[in-house]
Amino acid sequence: MTWETVTLDIDDDVATLTIDRPESLNALTVETLEAMEAALADAADAGVRALVLAGAGDRAFVAGADISYMTDLSTPEAQGYAELGHRIAETIETFPAPVVAAIDGYAFGGGSELALAADLRVASEDAVIGQTEIDIGIIPGWGGTQRLARLVDDGTARRLVFLGERLDAEAAAEAGIVGEVVPADEFDERVDALAAELAAKPAFAMRAAKEALNAAHEGSTAAGMALERRAWSGLFGTHDQREGMRAFVEKRDPEFE
C-alpha cells in the first residue's frame, strides 16, 4: 500500500507507516497529511495489533509542517490546516492499537506533535526534538500545547513552547518526552522488537487499556474511573482473559487470539 509520500507496510500484526519525503526532511504537506489519514484508516481496517510511525532516511522523523505552504495562509485557511493536523493527531491518539513513534533525527513542530500523539516514543541517539514554532511567529497548532503540558512538568512545557528549545535524545528522555534512547545502529531492531512485543499482547485488553489511559486526560477523575471499571469488567469472558489467567495458573505461556 503506497501513496506518493507515504508508505504503509504490514508484516504479520504490525503496520509501519513511513512519511517518505527524505529530501524535504519528511515535512508534512497537505497531500502527505491526507495520505497519512488514508493509511491510518487502512491500518485500522486491517486489524493490526501495533503501529509504528517513522520517517524515511536517517536525518529526520518529521522536521515539521510545510512552512512554504503556511506562509501566506489566511486565517480561515490556517484554521482548515489546523483542523487537518488535529484530525491526524487524534487518529493516532485513538488508533485501536498501540502506536510507537520511532524518532530518528529531527522531530520539530508538527513532527513533534505527531510523536506526542503516539502511545510510546523511542528515540535514536541522533534524535533532536522541539516545538520550534515560536521562531516562525506561531505556536504549536496540532495539539502540542495540550499533549506536551500533560506529559512533562509545566515549566518544561513553557520553556519548550516559549523558547523553541531543542532537546537531544537524552534530554528528551530526562524530560519524559521519550521512553527510551537507543544507539543508532540498534534503532531499527529495537523498534521492531518493541512493536512485535506489543502485537503479542491480548488485543482486546490493549485496546481497553489505551481507551482508559486516554480518558485519564479527559473530563473528571470520576468519569475516567467509571470508564476504567466498565473496560476492565468488559474483558471478563473474552478468550484472552480466560486464556491469560489459566496460563498464569498453569505456569505456561498464554496463546492469545
Report pLDDT for 22. 95
Report pLDDT for 221. 67
Predicted confidence (pLDDT) per residue in 177-201, tens digit: 999 999 999 999 999 999 999 999 9
Write the Ramachandran bin of 193: left for phi over 0, alpha for psi from -120 to 50, otherwise beta. Answer: alpha
pLDDT category at 109 given cuts 50, 70, 90 is very high
Decide if pLDDT at 67 tops 80: yes
Predicted confidence (pLDDT) per residue in 206-244, tens digit: 999 999 999 888 777 677 667 667 777 777 778 888 888
* Separation of CA 146 from chain center: 14
Identify the structural domains of the chain with CATH numbers, from first to last.
6-199 (3.90.226.10), 203-249 (1.10.12.10)
Residues 244, 245, 246, 249, CA torsion sign: positive
Decide if pLDDT at 52 tops 70: yes
The Cα-based distances of 94 to 57, 89, 205, 230 in angstroms read: 27, 9, 15, 18
- What does the radius of gyration of the chain's CA atoms come to, in whole angstroms? 19
Residues recognised as catalytic: 113, 133
Count how many Cα atoms sit within 13 Å of the Cα of residue 140 in the half-sphere of its side chain.
29
Predicted confidence (pLDDT) per residue in 125-182, tens digit: 999 999 999 988 888 989 999 899 889 999 999 999 999 999 999 999 999 999 999 9
